[in-house]
Structures are given as structure tokens and as C-alpha cells.
Structure 1
Amino acid sequence: MDHLRYSGLSCETQRAAFLDIVLADPLVREALAGARRLALPDWLVVSGVLYNSVWNHLAGKPSGYGIKDVDLFYFDDTDLSYEAEDRVIAGAAPVFAGLPLPVEIRNQARVHLWYPRKFGQPCPRYTNASESVGYFASKTHAVGLRFDADGQPDLVAPFGLDDIFSFRITPNKMMDNQRTHEAKGSRAKANWPEISVLPW
């Protein structure tokens, strides 16, 4: 099937295809441009806006289809207060005012402080933004993108890209996230029927 044309190909081929697709997508381009202007420490645009944009391209759907928001991570362990993160969120609002979707900004240095209260289980104390991507409920979702100091794309994909190009949602058992894996899998399948969701 044509939407699976990159499935099973080499890591290098998949990386090149991934970057070609997402950097040509207007929503992703605008999100990355805004994040770059903000220049938050160790910033990373992650997850849905990236892999969903690949699925939209390969399945012939419009830019932004099925995407709820843009997730922007950063890492700043100099101030772990809620107030500091809130100031960043407020300061970013004008930068993303023209984006058609909300931008969810989270300091990955402080996730371990609120995660247990929200989800009822502990969370590691991350040491950088990229590390947190490896703990997403599904390996498929573990992808992030930023520009380095030279303006070159820096792709974070700890489990590779084959799940994305295979339209396959694979559980990540680094944490007990079965409910999240299943809920996101069901939602994705409703938008992209081509998807298969592997059981927890």
C-alpha cells in the first residue's frame, strides 16, 4: 500500500523522509519557527504534531488534520516553580498567536513534581528534554525535533521511526501507561483507519 512506502526501509532513508515531510508541512514549520524565536533552553517540539503530520501526508489528509495541539518541551532546572513555567507560557502566547492550534509548553525539569499527583505513580527526574521523550506511553509517539545552533534539524527518536512509517502504535513499557497507550491508540485509529494498535 502506498501509505506504507517507507515502512521497513533503512534508518537513514526514514530520517530523510521524515524531515522532508514535516519540514514541508506549514503547521510544523510555523511551530518550529515560533519555538526557535522563543529560544527556550533545550527546547523540543514533540509528539503528535510530528507523527500525525507524517500520517496526514502519507494518507492524503490536509495539514493539521486530527491534531489537537502542539507540544513544546524545554528543560530549565534553575527554577522548578510553577510560577516560572507559567511565566514562560504567558511570554510565549504572543509568539504563537497566529498558530491555528494551542501550544502546550512544559518544563521537563519539573515533571517529577506534578506527575505523581496527576497520574498516581512516580516519574523519573529527567536530566534533559530528550530523555523525557523516551518515557511516552507509546514508542510511536517518542519523537521530537528542534534546530541546533547552526540551524540544522536535530531529530530525537529513541525508538526509531519505523512505527510511524508502518502506521503502527507500539506500547512503551518504561512506565505503567497502559490506559494512555490504549486511549491514544483508539483516538488515532478513528482519524487514521490505516493504523494498527499493538496490545499492551
Structure 2
Amino acid sequence: MTSGGDGVVIGRLPLDEQLTALRSVLSSNEVLLDVLDRTASMALPGWYLTAGCLFQTVWNVVTGRPATSGIKDYDVFYFDADDLSWEAEDAVIRAGRELFGGLPAEVEIRNEARVHLWYEQKFGVPCAPHTSTESAIDCFAATTCCLGVRLEPTGRWRVYAPHGLSDVFNLVVRPNPVLAPREVYEAKTARWRRQWPELTVLDWPTA
């Protein structure tokens, strides 16, 4: 289902109401809330909790599954262009490993200012240096994945969703051919379809 208790389709609500619904849905995932709280205490520059843990929590809730079902890990992005060394990033990763100890999930922390240093070796295509955490989120293989949430010091949730939220609530996966190659998109969507067969997966565009 993709509707609220009153039968209203969430993906067709005005954006401000979709944002309220997003917070309500994500709050049903207690692991996610814990990760948000703990990450906020690290005060990482430009950080967001992002990717699968967000949209997959939504998919779980709107299809009646447990909120944490099928979620492999929780991705934290931050942006520190002042020190691009592996040693600096590794120090953050090790601090996170200690901070997130005891959680029933793996938390992966990455400095998005360093992605261009290893991306081509891993995925076979070059990646221009990102200019912010947001620009990194913009490059996910599917627009549906382009979503980030962080907890501000005031307690307010900051949501970055450059393609909106309708596809997320409506279980639509739409390709985003700006960086990741087609095979990455197709491998991810094949895996997601096995876990969430209700998804509508749109084809990668042809030239």
C-alpha cells in the first residue's frame, strides 16, 4: 500500500505533507533514529544519513513489512575537502565503529570529498571531484536513492531530496544516468526486486 490511514496516497500529497509523512515513516525504524542521534554527536561537516536505509524503510512501511527488513547497512556521508588523506577518513571510520558499537546494523561512513580518488578503479568510469555532500547524493544510480536526512543541532530534521519524494512513496525506481554505469543500476534494481517485488523499476535510457 502507498496510502495513509485515511486512504490518501502519500506520493500525491503536497510536498510539505510528504515531508511530514517521511519523518513519521522513518521514525518507525528505531535503528535509523539511533544512527541519526549518534551521528549528530560526531559533528561531521555536511553529513547526511543517506541511501538505502531511508528509501528502503519507506518501502517496508508502505508494503506492510517490518521497518528494518532487508536493509543491509546505514550509510553516512560527510564532506571534508581540507584533508583528503585516507588516514583522516580512516580515523573518522574508526571513531564511528566505536560509537555505533552495539547497534544491530552496520554503519558505513565515507568522506565524499575523496570519492574521485577511488571511484574509477571500482566502477570503471571517472568521477569528477564532488563539491559537497549534496552533489555526491545527486550521483546515485537511481533518482529514488537521491535522499539524505540529518539531525540539526536544534533538533530539526534537514531533508535533501533533489528529485522529490513521490517516487519513493510510490515504489518507483527511476534511473539517474549522470555517473554510475548502467550495470550498477541493473544490479541494484535486480537485488531490490527480489526483496520488494512491488517495485516498478524503469529501464535505463538508451542513447
User: What is the TM-score with the length of structure 2 in the denominator?
Assistant: 0.92
Q: Distance in 2 between the 1:14 and 1:150 partners?
A: 21
Q: Distance in 2 between the 1:63 and 1:37 partners?
A: 24
Structure 2 residue matching 1:97: 3-state secondary structure: coil
Moved over 4 A (4+): none
In structure 1, the residue matched to 2:6 is none
In structure 1, the residue matched to 2:97 is 93
Moved more, 10-19 or 138-147: 10-19
In structure 2, the residue matched to 1:116 is 120
* Matches for 1:24-173 after TM superposition, within 5 Å: 24-173=28-177
Paired residues, number: 199
Q: Distance in 2 between the 1:161 and 1:187 partners?
A: 22
> Any conservation in 2 of the 1:168–1:196 contact (CA below 8 Å)?
yes
In structure 1, the residue matched to 2:2 is 3
> Any conservation in 2 of the 1:25–1:53 contact (CA below 8 Å)?
yes
Deviation at 1:83, TM superposition (A): 1.2
> Any conservation in 1 of the 2:28–2:67 contact (CA below 8 Å)?
no
1:22-66 deviation per Cα after TM superposition (whole angstroms, max 9, x unaligned): 123201101101111111111110011111111111111112101
Over the aligned positions, Cα root-mean-square deviation in angstroms equals 1.2
Deviation at 1:7, TM superposition (A): 2.4
In structure 2, the residue matched to 1:198 is 202
Instruction: Evaluate the alpha carbon distance shift between residue 180 and residue 149 of structure 1 in structure 2; reply closer, same or farther with a 3 A threshold.
Output: same
AA paired with 1:179?
E
Q: Distance in 2 between the 1:115 and 1:48 partners?
A: 19
Deviation at 1:176, TM superposition (A): 4.4
Q: Distance in 2 between the 1:46 and 1:93 partners?
A: 18
User: What is the TM-score with the length of structure 1 in the denominator?
Assistant: 0.95
Which sections of structure 1, spanning at least 5 residues, go unmatched? none
AA paired with 1:191?
Q
Which sections of structure 2, spanning at least 5 residues, go unmatched? 4-8
1:130-180 deviation per Cα after TM superposition (whole angstroms, max 9, x unaligned): 111011000001100002232200001111111111101100011242111
> Any conservation in 2 of the 1:27–1:63 contact (CA below 8 Å)?
no
Structure 2 residue matching 1:60: 3-state secondary structure: coil
